[in-house]
Amino acid sequence: MSFNPVTKELVDALLDALGEHKVKQDPDILQSYQTDQEGDPKYHHMPELVVFPESTEEVAKVVRLANQYKVPITPRSGGTSVSRGAIPVYHGIVLVLTKMNHILKLDADNLYAVVETGVYTSDLQNAAKAKGLIYAGDPCSATSCMIGGNVATNAGGDRAVKYGVTRDQIYAMKIVTPTGDIVTVGKRTKKNACGYALEQLMIGSEGTLGIITEITVKLLPLPKYRQDVVAVFRDNAKALRLPNRLTREGIVAMSMEYLDYKAIQAVAEYLDVTAPFAEDFCVYVIMTIETYNEAYMDEQLVTIDEVAREMGAEDVRIIEPKSTIWNLRKNFGEAAREASPKYYQEDFVVPLDKIIDVMEAIPTFEKKHGIPTITCAHIGDGNIHTALMNYDFDDDEWKQKVEAFHDDVYPLVYSVGGTMSGEHGIGYKRVADFEKYTDPAEFKMMQAIKKALDPNDILNPGKIFDLEQK
């Protein structure tokens, strides 16, 4: 597959279709869309054109013209991808969806909302909360990411332990197909046995199979009672065994988060705060419990305290939602990026009972390859974010070290039934590793779907896998 450059003829056609204020070629605008959250300039790619549609119909016009002129499109909403998912690898058009930012309907009686793709996730959460409801999707970047990007990457986040990931919050969506048709997939029903679940196929497809423009999401009643708890351990292995044990005891935490000692120190330094309990080695397991019944809340808290102390916790105590400990966890990514702009954040996920197998191997791999690491985790669902820190390696040495680290950690992750990405996606960042560790038959099926739906490879080429190289 090969692409054509953006021509004056295409620009004129887009100007005619969208209007001058929605089609931009200014060098400063092009430069601002050459990357997402990727801080290493060698991975940046400059688009040739940036467009800002304001409706599904306008998105469809852009896609049809891109097919006509064989020019690639990189869809983009908040641009918060940490997998290089919104970088225009093959230049072409960056299609920015931020002007499609309206909550079209919020039905409190029937527990759903209809939103455009450019709505900030936190705005949807706040709108639901104002009605006594909860939108349960909650990526850590909720104040800066947008709901369309959440759906495209099947974003996870803190609440996934109880409520699941973005996939579990979606009824239906309107999409523009890779050839420019407008289709609504999914239904606002509990059941649907009519053919393929196309809405589920689109979720997590990273903008390669369609451009999501409108989403119907599920809402839930807002729990009346909430408590945040931290269990402090001086023994890492004991902390890592806690999530599976609590699950067996019937604890349904909304979230269960983890920070290792090096992460606690690094984020505390970034925030210029004193980390509680961290005068000596410790790790945090941070939990949020939500219930509709006060007595049940008390029962859950008593069980957590008893089990955590039995498992070896030195201290178990209630904390405030905006406590120093929660702030340390929430600022993990910012602290890593500040200390090492070219850091590599892992996203592997494993079955709950296998967390300890991977987490206890990481220090061995760190020492073997000479890569400093700090680790946080959505420990309640087995999603581990180890940040490989590049303090002083040159590009070639860094590339070799990361690849060598992956040659050890990925076989381990897959051997225990895990995958390399739990919530960030493959993007452009993990293309080679994804092909290497994916079952060939499964990989072939994915390629076949992409080729069937996007014959010109127009949408987000170079992401997940690269048909250009096949």
Task: Please list, in sequence order, all residues whose beta carbon lies within 8 angstroms of the beta carbon of residue 225, skipping any fewer than 6 positions away.
Answer: 290, 291, 292, 293, 294, 297
Half-sphere exposure of residue 324, counting CA atoms within 13 Å on the CB side?
14
Residue 468: band (very low, low, confident or very high) from pLDDT cuts 50, 70, 90: low
> How far apart are alpha carbons 390 and 341 in whole angstroms?
8
Residue 19: band (very low, low, confident or very high) from pLDDT cuts 50, 70, 90: very high
Residue 469: band (very low, low, confident or very high) from pLDDT cuts 50, 70, 90: very low
> How far apart are alpha carbons 106 and 217 in whole angstroms?
9
Q: Which residues pair with 218 in a beta bridge?
A: 112
- Per-residue pLDDT averaged across 91-103, rounded? 98
pLDDT in tens, 427-455: 999 999 999 999 999 999 999 999 999 99
Q: What is the pTM of this model?
A: 0.93
Residue 466: band (very low, low, confident or very high) from pLDDT cuts 50, 70, 90: confident
Pairing relationship of beta strands 93-96 and 49-51 according to DSSP bridges: parallel
> How far apart are alpha carbons 236 and 264 in whole angstroms?
13
Task: Please list, in sequence order, all residues whose beta carbon lies within 8 angstroms of the beta carbon of residue 251, skipping any fewer than 6 positions away.
Answer: 289, 300, 303, 304, 307
Residue 1 has a pLDDT of: 62
pLDDT in tens, 257-267: 999 999 999 99
Pairing relationship of beta strands 182-186 and 170-176 according to DSSP bridges: antiparallel
DSSP character string of 133-147: EE---B-TTTTT-BH
Q: Contact at 8 Å (CB) between 4 and 49?
A: no
pLDDT reading at 228 higher than 90: yes
Other C-beta atoms closer than 10 Å to the C-beta of 367 total 9
Percent of the chain with pLDDT over 90: 94
Residue 245 has a pLDDT of: 94
DSSP character string of 362-397: HHHHHHHHT--EEEEEETTTTEEEEEEP-SS--HHH
N-term to C-term CA, the chain: 9
pLDDT in tens, 392-431: 999 999 999 999 999 999 999 999 999 999 999 999 999 9
Residue 58 has a pLDDT of: 98
pLDDT in tens, 358-380: 999 999 999 999 999 999 999 99
Token pair, residue 285, equals: 């397991």
Residue 2 has a pLDDT of: 86
CA-CA-CA-CA torsion sign (355, 358, 361, 363): negative
pLDDT reading at 140 higher than 90: no
Token pair, residue 100, equals: 């499609």
DSSP character string of 304-331: HHHHHHHTT-SEEEEE-TTSHHHHHHHT
Alpha helices in 192-316 (DSSP H): 198-202, 236-240, 242-248, 261-271, 294-310
> How far apart are alpha carbons 59 and 75 in whole angstroms?
10
H-helix or E-strand spanning residue 232: strand 225-233
What rounded mean pLDDT belongs to the chain? 95
Task: Please list, in sequence order, all residues whose beta carbon lies within 8 angstroms of the beta carbon of residue 259, skipping any fewer than 6 positions away.
Answer: 267, 283, 284, 286, 328, 329, 332, 375, 376
Pairing relationship of beta strands 315-319 and 344-345 according to DSSP bridges: unpaired
pLDDT in tens, 170-218: 999 999 999 999 999 999 999 999 999 999 999 999 999 999 999 999 9
Percent of the chain with pLDDT over 70: 99
Q: Contact at 8 Å (CB) between 124 and 103?
A: yes
Q: Contact at 8 Å (CB) between 202 and 175?
A: yes
Residue 161 has a pLDDT of: 92
> How far apart are alpha carbons 57 and 464 in whole angstroms?
27
> How far apart are alpha carbons 88 and 38 in whole angstroms?
12
Token pair, residue 141, equals: 């970047």
pLDDT in tens, 296-323: 999 999 999 999 999 999 999 999 998 9
pLDDT reading at 157 higher than 90: no
Tokens 């909720």, residue located: 142
List the domains of the chain with CATH numbers.
Answer: 1-222+427-460 (3.30.465.10), 223-339 (3.30.70.2190), 340-425 (3.30.70.2740)
Q: Contact at 8 Å (CB) between 37 and 47?
A: no
pLDDT in tens, 211-223: 999 999 999 999 9
Residue 467: band (very low, low, confident or very high) from pLDDT cuts 50, 70, 90: confident
> How far apart are alpha carbons 21 and 276 in whole angstroms?
51
Own/partner long-range contacts of 110-114 (Cβ < 8 Å, ≥24 apart): 111/218, 111/219, 111/220, 111/221, 112/171, 112/188, 112/216, 112/217, 112/218, 112/219, 113/216, 113/217, 113/219, 114/214, 114/215, 114/216, 114/217
Residue 470 has a pLDDT of: 40
